[in-house]
Amino acid sequence: MMIGEHRFRDVAPNTWDPERRVAECDEAGVHAQVLSTVPVMFSYWAKARDTLDLSRMLNDHIAGVVAERPTRFAGLATLPMQAPDLAVRELTRAVRELGLQGAQIGSHVNDWNLDQPELFPVFEAAAELGAAIFVHPWDMLAPERMQRYWMRWLVGMPTETTIAICSLVFGGVLERLPALRIGFAHGGGSFPGTIGRIQHGFDVRPDLCATRNDKPPLSYAGRFYVDSLVHEPAALRLLLDLVGADRVALGSDYPFPLGEARPGELIRSMDDLTDDVKARLLGGTALEFLGLEAKRFQGEGALTT
């Protein structure tokens, strides 16, 4: 995959080949996987109608793969978020006609953070449809300062996710839509480690922080979902203490290198977690977030995104 004349990444068959994915899931002990578009394909920068056409093509493809293997795959749509009216229309089609479980969206839409009023109808439609919204970081801020050391992925991505969460909390989106099921990649980014500072800032400068929502940020811990992809036992314990096991779903980042080589390995390795907690993390929470029933899938095991 190239960006202009620059090599971006090598794309292996497991990025698009369902048979290869099933085989690798079997090797890793994963019984079901949630399919979504790689974020570089969001295309929010393009003309809205062109992004809609691309979204429809991608969503039709994912729905087709799911329909052929409904006991192994579920799917999330991608949307033309730069045109919220078109995004609402495509989300509705994806859920009601294609049978997808919701949508994956970016951590921002061009110059809009996720509290932008124009985007509220998309979240409102998701709540009404019972559709899950999964937020993945993309188009990381300050790229000119993060050219080296893979920092856009190591630092930029967690920061993007934290901006997205804070925007939805401070902007009152979560307060206005209590039925919205929304989740965030990579353990919620930097948010779990900075919630104390965020709450303190709200307490001491409400004139700056509480301009759209007067509810404390810490009160939203456990209101949204996150995935488990934090790579370190202490970080996972912090996440569980903050939001609870019923809000943490297994994340794999498959098939990319920042994922676990064997999804769920960290969870299974932690002897201080009970079997019930491990079951929630390995499958139960994801099923709830996505509005799925376990009986749809073969066997018992992990459900990964």
Which residues span the domain enclosing 200?
Answer: 2-300
| Domain-located, residue 140 | yes
Question: CA torsion angle for 222, 174, 289, 231 (degrees, to 10)?
Answer: -50
**Which mean pLDDT values do the consecutive 10-residue runs of the chain (305 residues) have?**
70 89 93 95 97 98 97 97 98 98 98 98 98 97 94 96 98 98 98 98 98 97 97 97 97 92 95 97 97 82 67
| Domain-located, residue 305 | no
Instruction: Please report the pLDDT score of residue 299 as a whole number.
Output: 57
| Domain-located, residue 230 | yes
Question: CA torsion angle for 131, 57, 120, 118 (degrees, to 10)?
Answer: 180
Instruction: Please report the pLDDT score of residue 16 as a whole number.
Output: 86
DSSP assignment letter at 82: T
Domains held by the chain: number: 1
What is the C-alpha to C-alpha distance for residues 242 and 29, in angstroms, rounded to an integer? 28
| Domain-located, residue 181 | yes
Domain with 208 in it: what CATH number? Answer: 3.20.20.140
CB of 83 closer than 8 Å to CB of 51: yes
What is the C-alpha to C-alpha distance for residues 90 and 121, in angstroms, rounded to an integer? 13
Bond before 255 cis per omega within 30 degrees:
yes
| Domain-located, residue 243 | yes
CB of 132 closer than 8 Å to CB of 179: no
pTM of the model: 0.95
| Domain-located, residue 263 | yes
Instruction: Please report the pLDDT score of residue 258 as a whole number.
Output: 93
Instruction: Please report the pLDDT score of residue 19 as a whole number.
Output: 95
Instruction: Please report the pLDDT score of residue 298 as a whole number.
Output: 67
What is the C-alpha to C-alpha distance for residues 257 and 48, in angstroms, rounded to an integer? 31
Q: In whole angstroms, what separates CA 284 from the centre of its chain?
A: 16
Amino acid at the residue 140: M
3-state DSSP percent of the chain in helix, strand and coil, to 5:
50, 10, 35
CB of 303 closer than 8 Å to CB of 294: no
| Domain-located, residue 211 | yes
| Domain-located, residue 44 | yes
Listed residue (90, 74, 32, 78) closest to 291, CA to CA: 74
Instruction: Please report the pLDDT score of residue 4 as a whole number.
Output: 72
CB of 84 closer than 8 Å to CB of 114: no
Instruction: Please report the pLDDT score of residue 305 as a whole number.
Output: 67
Instruction: Tell me the pairing of strands 6-7 and 2-3.
Output: antiparallel
